[in-house]
C-alpha cells in the first residue's frame, strides 16, 4: 500500500471525519506537482513555437490515448469481476484477489485521469489562443491581446473560476439524488417482498427497475450541467462582449484543472484505503475502522467517477463553443456585447 493510502487508513482509526479531512488534504496536495509540470510544459512549448507549440504539446499528450484507454478500462473490469464473484458466491479468496486488482485499477485510473486532465488543459489553451486569433482577424487589428487587468476581463475571470465549482455541485448533487432514489426503491422491494432478506431464498429482486432508475437519472440530471457549460460562454459573449469571454475561459481553465486533479486523486485514495482495511486481519467489514473508510469511499465515488472527469468536458467544450461563435461575438456591437458596457 502506498504511503498516502496508509495515512488515510490511520486517519480512519479516529473516525470518518478525520478520514474526510485527511483525504481532502491529500487531494489538494496532489495538485502541486502536476500543476508545476503542466506550467513548465506550457511555458516551454510557448517559448519554442508560440501557440502552435502548445497545440503540439496537446497532441503529444493525446498520443498516449491507447495507453490511457487501456489503464482506464482496467479498473472497471476488475471491479465488475469482483461483483460477479460475490453474486455467484465464489470462494472468499476470489473476491480478495479481485479487490487487490481493483485497488491497482484505482491507481492506474488516477494516472489515466491525470493525462486526460493535462491534455484537456493544453487543448483548451490552444483553442483559447485560436479564439483570440479569430477575434484579431475579425477586428483587423493585430494588436488585439488579452489584458488581465481590464475590468471586464478580470471580473469574468472570477466568474469563470467559479464555474467548475458550480458544475461540480450540480453533478455531485445529481449523484446523491439518484442514489437516494435507488435506496428508496430497494427499501420498497424489501417491504413488498420480505423474502429477499432471507439467506438462500429463491426470490429475486426487480433488477430492471434499479437499472431503469440509474439510466433515467443519468440522462435527466445531466441537462443542467450541460446547459451551464454551453450557455455560459454564449451569454457572456453576447451580452458582455469578447473581453468577458477572455476572462471566462481563463478562469474556468485555471480552476478546472486543479479541481479535477484533486477530485480524482482524493476519490481513488479513499477507495484504496477502504480496500486496504478490508484486507487487514484486525479490520474487516463491520468494524468501526471499516465504517469510517466506507464513508470516505462513498464521498469519493462522485468525486473520482463523476465530477472530476467531467471537468475535462467543461474546459474543452467552453473553449470550442467560444471559438465557433467568435465571429458572432465580435459582430455584436463591435465585440462589446448587447449591453455595450465600457471596457475601462
pLDDT (mean) for 217-227: 90
pTM for this predicted structure: 0.86
Write the CA distances from 271 to 15, 21, 69, 79, 258, integer angstroms.
16, 15, 21, 11, 20
Of 37-46, 81-90, 184-193, 264-273, which range is least confident?
81-90
Q: What is the largest CA-CA distance in the chain?
A: 77
pLDDT at 143: 61
**pLDDT at residue 283, rounded to an integer:** 63
In the predicted structure, residue 260 carries a pLDDT above the cut 90: yes
pLDDT per position as a tens digit, 283-315: 667 788 889 999 999 999 999 888 988 999 999
Using one digit for the tens of pLDDT, what is the confidence trace for 177-221? 989 999 999 999 888 888 888 877 778 888 888 889 989 988 898
> What Å distances lie between residue 136 and 54, 139, 150, 273, CA to CA?
19, 5, 17, 51
Stretch 22-43: mean pLDDT: 93
Closest C-alpha to 344, from 243, 245, 248: 243
Q: What pLDDT, on the 0 to 100 scale, is given for residue 170?
A: 94
User: pLDDT value at position 62?
Assistant: 81
Question: Does residue 244 contact residue 332 with C-beta atoms inside 8 Å?
Answer: no
Question: Shortest CA distance to 303 belongs to which of 20, 69, 18?
Answer: 20
Pairwise CA distance, residues 48 & 60, whole Å = 15
On the question of pLDDT at 1 being above 60, the answer is no
The number of residues in the chain equals: 344
Give the cell for residue 157: 475571470
Mean pLDDT for 89-116 is: 80
Angle at alpha carbon of residue 243, lines to 242 and 245, rounded to 5° = 65
Which of the pair, 105 or 317, is modelled with greater confidence?
A: 317
What percent of the chain has pLDDT above 90? 42
Report the half-sphere exposure of 47 (CA within 13 A, side-chain side): 6
pLDDT score recorded for residue 159: 95
Query: What distance in Å separates the CA atoms of residue 102 and residue 301, rounded to the nearest whole number?
Result: 14
- How many CB atoms neighbour CB 143 within 10 A? 6
For the segment 55-65, the average pLDDT, to the nearest whole number, is 85
Query: How much is the pLDDT for 343?
Result: 58
Per-residue model confidence as pLDDT tens digits over 112-170: 888 888 888 999 999 998 998 888 888 876 566 778 888 899 999 999 999 999 999 99
Cα separation, 262 vs 311, in Å, equals 11
Residue 16 pLDDT: 92
Question: So what's the pLDDT on residue 286?
Answer: 76
Report which of residues 72 and 322 the model is more confident about. 322
Rounded to an integer, what distance in angstroms lies between the CA atom of residue 38 and that of residue 151?
A: 28
Amino acid at each position: 500500500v502506498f504511503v498516502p493510502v496508509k495515512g488515510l487508513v490511520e486517519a480512519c482509526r479516529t473516525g470518518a471525519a478525520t478520514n474526510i479531512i485527511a483525504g481532502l488534504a491529500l487531494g489538494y496536495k496532489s495538485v502541486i506537482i502536476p500543476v508545476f509540470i503542466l506550467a513548465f510544459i506550457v511555458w516551454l512549448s510557448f517559448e519554442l513555437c508560440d501557440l502552435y507549440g502548445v497545440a503540439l504539446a496537446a497532441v503529444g499528450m493525446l498520443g498516449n490515448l491507447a495507453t490511457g484507454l487501456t489503464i482506464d478500462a482496467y479498473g472497471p473490469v476488475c471491479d465488475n469481476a469482483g461483483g460477479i464473484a460475490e453474486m455467484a458466491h465464489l470462494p472468499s479468496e476470489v473476491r480478495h484477489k479481485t479487490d487487490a486488482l481493483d485497488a491497482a485499477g484505482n491507481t492506474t485510473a488516477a494516472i489515466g485521469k491525470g493525462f486526460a486532465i493535462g491534455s484537456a488543459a493544453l487543448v483548451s489553451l490552444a483553442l483559447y489562443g485560436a479564439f483570440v486569433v479569430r477575434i484579431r482577424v475579425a477586428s483587423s487589428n493585430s494588436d488585439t491581446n488579452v489584458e488581465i487587468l481590464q475590468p471586464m476581463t478580470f471580473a469574468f475571470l472570477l466568474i469563470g473560476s467559479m464555474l467548475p465549482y458550480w458544475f461540480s455541485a450540480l453533478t455531485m448533487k445529481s449523484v446523491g439524488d439518484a442514489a437516494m432514489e435507488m435506496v428508496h426503491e430497494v427499501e420498497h422491494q424489501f417491504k413488498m417482498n420480505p423474502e429477499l432478506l432471507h439467506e438462500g431464498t429463491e426470490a429475486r429482486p426487480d433488477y430492471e427497475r434499479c437499472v431503469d432508475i440509474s439510466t433515467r437519472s443519468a440522462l435527466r440530471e445531466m441537462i443542467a450541467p450541460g446547459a451551464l457549460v454551453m450557455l455560459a460562454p454564449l451569454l457572456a459573449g453576447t451580452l458582455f462582449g469578447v473581453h468577458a469571454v477572455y476572462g471566462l475561459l481563463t478562469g474556468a481553465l485555471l480552476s478546472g484543472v486543479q479541481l479535477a486533479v484533486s477530485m480524482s486523486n482524493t476519490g481513488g485514495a479513499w477507495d484504496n484505503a477502504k480496500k486496504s482495511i478490508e484486507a487487514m486481519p484486525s479490520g474487516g467489514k463491520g468494524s468501526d475502522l471499516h465504517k469510517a473508510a466506507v464513508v470516505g469511499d462513498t464521498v469519493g465515488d462522485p468525486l473520482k467517477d463523476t465530477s472530476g472527469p467531467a471537468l475535462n468536458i467543461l474546459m474543452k467544450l467552453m473553449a470550442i463553443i467560444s471559438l465557433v461563435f467568435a465571429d458572432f461575438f465580435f459582430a455584436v456591437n463591435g465585440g462589446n456585447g448587447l449591453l455595450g458596457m465600457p471596457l475601462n
